[in-house]
Structure 1
């Protein structure tokens, strides 16, 4: 991420520049991200060239602010802009408005350089904190936007707190499809439904364009994601993808590539949530007293089975990579076998996948 240009204590030139920025900054531009954008647009000589003459500096910074807040991306190639996301004061019955109100955020499409910087800052804060590099560089987001990709931001006042990316595409038979990408919510904004609001806004974007299905993948070991995707949103597990991301980075906490589940979110009608049934499920994978997974092979002949996963796989990967790998082998093996045999995969509030056997 670019170095901040607004620290007058450590950099007198930056302090002068910050004063000029404050003078010309429009009231509706978030100060948290404008400095990042201006730093990116500065000439190669850096901020020093802008403070030698204050009159020229004001003119230059004004031009930079205007460039940063200008909408420069191509029009949406699929449809008209989403009225539900851009018209103020949506009807109370609007699920996006209701979910956003509960979460205390405002969901808006990414449109300007400032929006891009805000999205990058959220993605970095969740997926690459302290890494010294961007999780998604601004140039990549700009290209996605130019191709008509929906990138939606959750704002809490002037602070960006959540983002979800996606790509428009087509199914094998030529039907429009949205492939959802990374979704990130800052730790300070979690636990109040920001993710649900973002996904419902993405759903509205898709429906407005005649899209009937959104697909995405998620870490099969992530309990929070499984609960959101399968139980709260009602997405359907389509496939188990072992080692989907290929080899992990050299600094990964585990020696294994992460397995992922492919899910489909069907947007026509209400999602049909499968009944739990009367049969008591067996624990196909459960936690032993030492915290390691225990496999019960009898699950294959039961009408239903539960597959436990660690409550916080990220912490386990960091603190005990060997145990995390053992869990991934156990859980992945059962999920892969069950899906290949036609079992339905849902999420149980006890913190486990719930597998329902196909009709025999």
Structure 2
């Protein structure tokens, strides 16, 4: 990576950054991309075009715009793009410094082509970038109903959801979210935690479900079925593919939204913690 190392005065932090940079390089090699910071208006225009193809937004509703990326890049925030072997932009990520000052980055939006490991390479680049600047935490929000994102964030990266945010963005008009309420989970990626370090080293394993776990929200014939919420360890199910479900069966998608809000949102509000996400689509939630 070409970014300056601001952690050179701290040997432990420098070693962590060097390891993170090497992990990014390996992930980028496997994905067949190179990730770099973006500086030019033409590059920002490519990001808008890429994101428009992903979210299929109406005019004026894109997740970002050229002016915002110029401002972020100029002020030292994170604006990066992933480029394939042919030089085409295949992914991008935008983040900004967050409170507490000097400790955290908030990853505002990341989008990429699916199925090639591009998203993983982008996030590992973002992690190395943050560590080189002395940051220890990256946060972002995601839809708790989207299984692949939940698995990626929790199992592949070692991040942990900390707060449930109902209708966080209000009404959204893009093709992916239209017609649904914009509930989000706030994911917190503590870059030096053992879960994150193992995940970024490629050593993450599917979580073992503790014995005696209670299924608090299950799927039956495609619909949510709420169960008991008593117990120390609870399993919260998710729909198989909510993005396909929304336009095909909006009533069932809405039922999932409200069930997950009640059960998962309620448990997090009471102080429970998400400790994992299973391969078959269940949040593992543990009470203190």
TM bracket, shorter-chain basis: 0.7 to 0.9
Task: Give the 3 Å change call, closer, same or farther, for CA 91–114 of structure 1 in structure 2.
Answer: farther
- 5+ residue gaps in structure 2? 6-17, 197-203
Q: Which of 272, 283, 291 lines up with 2:215 in the alignment?
A: 283
Q: Which structure ranks higher in relative contact order (CA pairs < 8 Å, sequence separation ≥ 6)?
A: 2
Q: Which runs of 4+ in 1 moved over 4 A?
A: 90-93, 250-256, 272-275
Residue 104 (structure 2) pairs with residue 177 (structure 1): yes
**Aligned CA distance change for structure 1 residues 254 and 295 (closer, same or farther; 3 Å):** farther
* Shift of residue 335, structure 1, vs aligned partner: 0.8
CA distance in 2, matches of 1:287, 1:355: 17
Q: Show CA shifts across 1:108-143 (max 9, x none).
A: 1111122212222211111126x4557122122112
- Aligned counterpart, 2:223: 292
Distance 1:269 1:243, change over 3 A: closer
Alignment of 1:351 onto 2:275 = no
Match of 2:136 in 1: 212
Scaled by the length of structure 2, the TM-score of the pair is 0.83
CA shift for structure 1 position 332:
1.2
The match for 1:330 among 234, 243, 259 is 259
Greater CA drift, 343-352 or 94-103: 343-352
Report the structure number with the largest CA radius of gyration.
1
Q: Equivalents in 2 of 1:114, 1:286: separation in Å? A: 47
Q: Structure 2 CA distance, aligned partners of 1:162 and 1:219?
A: 19
* TM-score, length of structure 1 as denominator length: 0.67
Counterparts of 1:64-103 in structure 2, within 5 Å, are: 82-83=3-4, 94-103=22-31
Q: Structure 1 unaligned runs (5+)?
A: 1-80, 85-89
Are 1:126 and 2:54 an aligned pair? yes
Q: Which digits, 9 at most, give the CA deviation of each residue in 1:35-91, with x for residues without a partner?
A: xxxxxxxxxxxxxxxxxxxxxxxxxxxxxxxxxxxxxxxxxxxxxx6158xxxxx99
Q: C-alpha separation between the residues in 1 aligned to 2:269 and 2:171?
A: 24
- Please give the root-mean-square deviation of Cα atoms over the aligned residues, in Å: 2.6
Residue 106 of structure 1, aligned match among 19, 22, 34: 34
- Is the CA contact 2:20–2:124 (under 8 Å) kept in the aligned structure 1? no
The answer for the alignment partner of 1:166 in structure 2 is 95
Distance 2:210 2:283 in 1: 17
8 Å CA contact 1:253–1:321 kept in 2: the answer is: no
CA offset at residue 93 of structure 1?
7.8
CA distance in 2, matches of 1:134, 1:258: 14
Using the TM superposition, give the Cα deviation of residue 176 of structure 1 relative to its aligned residue in structure 2, in angstroms: 2.6
- Secondary structure of the corresponding residue to residue 94 of structure 1: helix
Kept in 1, the 8 Å contact 2:36–2:80? The answer is yes
Equivalent residue for 1:302? Answer: 231
Q: Distance in 1 between matches of 2:117 and 2:174?
A: 34
Deviations 1:237-261 (A, max 9, x none): 2111111112344988665421100
CA distance in 2, matches of 1:253, 1:178: 25
Alpha-carbon deviation of 1:311? 2.2
* Distance of 2:176 and 2:122 partners within structure 1: 28
Superposition pairs for residues 231-270 of structure 1, below 5 Å? 231-249=155-173, 255-270=179-194
Q: 1:188-237, CA deviations, whole angstroms, 9 ceiling, x for partnerless residues?
A: xx112111110010011111111111111111111111111111111122
Aligned residues: 264
Q: SS where residue 78 of structure 2 aligns?
A: coil
Q: Distance in 2 between matches of 1:329 and 1:349?
A: 23
Measured in 1, the distance between the counterparts of 2:47 and 2:177 equals 26
